[in-house]
Amino acid sequence: MKSRSMAVGLWIVMALSLVAAAGCVDADGGTGEERPVASAGGGTVGEEAGDAQAAPAAGAINIAGGTAHIPVMTEVQKRFAATHPAVKISVAGGGSGVGIKQVGEGLVEIGNSGRTPTDEEIETYGLVLHRWAVDGVAVVVHPDNPVGDLSAEQLVRIFAGEITDWQAVGGPAHAIDVYTRDEESGTRKVFVDKALGKGAITGGANVVVSNGAMKSAVAQDPYSIGYVSVGHIDETVGPVALDGVAPTLENVKSGVYPVARGLYSLTKGEPQGVVAEFIAYLYTAEGQEIITAAGFIPVSE
């Protein structure tokens, strides 16, 4: 009996809220100003960011965005914390799109991006770019896969879903499992633009959400093909040469390997206080060492 009236009540409340919603929108003629707190990638940073904005000297650095940057960021965070114990630093992923968006909206102090922000993004948000490394994006397969070299055309056709068996490119007779990144990824953007010539990626591709996840997915699956930041390559994955050019650090540095990009840390306006110190640290000898150790080519200011 009681639960029946509850069910009825529930329906009434839902109906009322429908009416209220409609009225609400009619009244202010639009909902453009509604701003949800950005989700997933940098979910943890919301509250702290607010405090930091009110008093930047209080010493909180929230970092979000590019996942290729994360190993460098966490290492710098560790060293930085030793000399600045009062500064609270958090590092989150989310992808380059998230980094650009969140720093632009003032949700984080530093937004990382593995692609150059568009002119529109720079202008709208007043972004200042700090490019501290050059990185390549490499095609990777399972280390046991004998395929170590692909032509540009083969690569485009594999990712477009036209070549579907490894046998067609000199591998084992087995279907190819294509792995790609989500649309926020700067690595994906650079890969599509420079390695695929803006070619399409098959809708049947598995989607993973970070460079780290891509590496473990490819390492797990003997028939995989994917792409990661050159800095993330280790013995668990097999790098694939493009038209005979191996994705090594040297080839990226010399410009022979074409699928390269800058790694950026972005701030909204010129960085101030501890944020400026944090970014400056990336360009010190110690910072450049960390960047080199992470497998990137450091860029001096």
Closest to another protein by CB, 21 vs 256, is 21
Closest to another protein by CB, 157 vs 181, is 181
Q: Figure out which of the listed residues 67, 210, 224, 288 binds another protein, where binding follows CB under 8 A.
A: 224
Quote the least distance from Cβ 219 to another protein, whole Å.
11
What is the distance between the alpha carbons of residues 69 and 91, in angstroms, rounded to a whole number?
10
Q: 279: helix, coil or strand? A: helix
Q: Figure out which of the listed residues 29, 36, 85, 244 binds another protein, where binding follows CB under 8 A.
A: 36
What is the distance between the alpha carbons of residues 162 and 155, in angstroms, rounded to a whole number?
10
**Residue 10 binding another protein, by CB under 8 A:** yes
Quote the least distance from Cβ 23 to another protein, whole Å.
11
Closest to another protein by CB, 183 vs 243, is 183
**CB-based contacts of 260, cutoff 8 Å, min separation 6:** 134, 135, 136, 137, 190, 194, 252
**Residue 12 binding another protein, by CB under 8 A:** no
**Residue 27 binding another protein, by CB under 8 A:** no
**Residue 171 binding another protein, by CB under 8 A:** no
What is the distance between the alpha carbons of residues 137 and 252, in angstroms, rounded to a whole number?
9
What is the distance between the alpha carbons of residues 117 and 256, in angstroms, rounded to a whole number?
24
**Residue 118 binding another protein, by CB under 8 A:** no
Residues within window 79-108 making contact with another protein, judged by CB under 8 A: 94-95, 97-98, 100-102
**Residue 269 binding another protein, by CB under 8 A:** no
**Residue 245 binding another protein, by CB under 8 A:** no
**Residue 24 binding another protein, by CB under 8 A:** yes
Burial of 107 (C-beta count, 10 Å sphere; 0-12/13-18/19+): buried
**Residue 165 binding another protein, by CB under 8 A:** no
Q: Are 194 and 116 in contact (CB under 8 A)?
A: no
Q: Are 264 and 73 in contact (CB under 8 A)?
A: no
| Identity of the amino acid at 30 | G
Look at residues 228, 247, 263 and name the one whose alpha carbon lies nearest to residue 69: 263
What is the distance between the alpha carbons of residues 245 and 226, in angstroms, rounded to a whole number?
17
Residues that bind another protein (CB under 8 A): 1, 3-4, 6-7, 10-11, 13-14, 17-18, 20-22, 24-25, 31-32, 34-36, 38-41, 94-95, 97-98, 100-102, 174-175, 177, 179, 182-184, 200, 203-209, 216-217, 220-221, 223-224
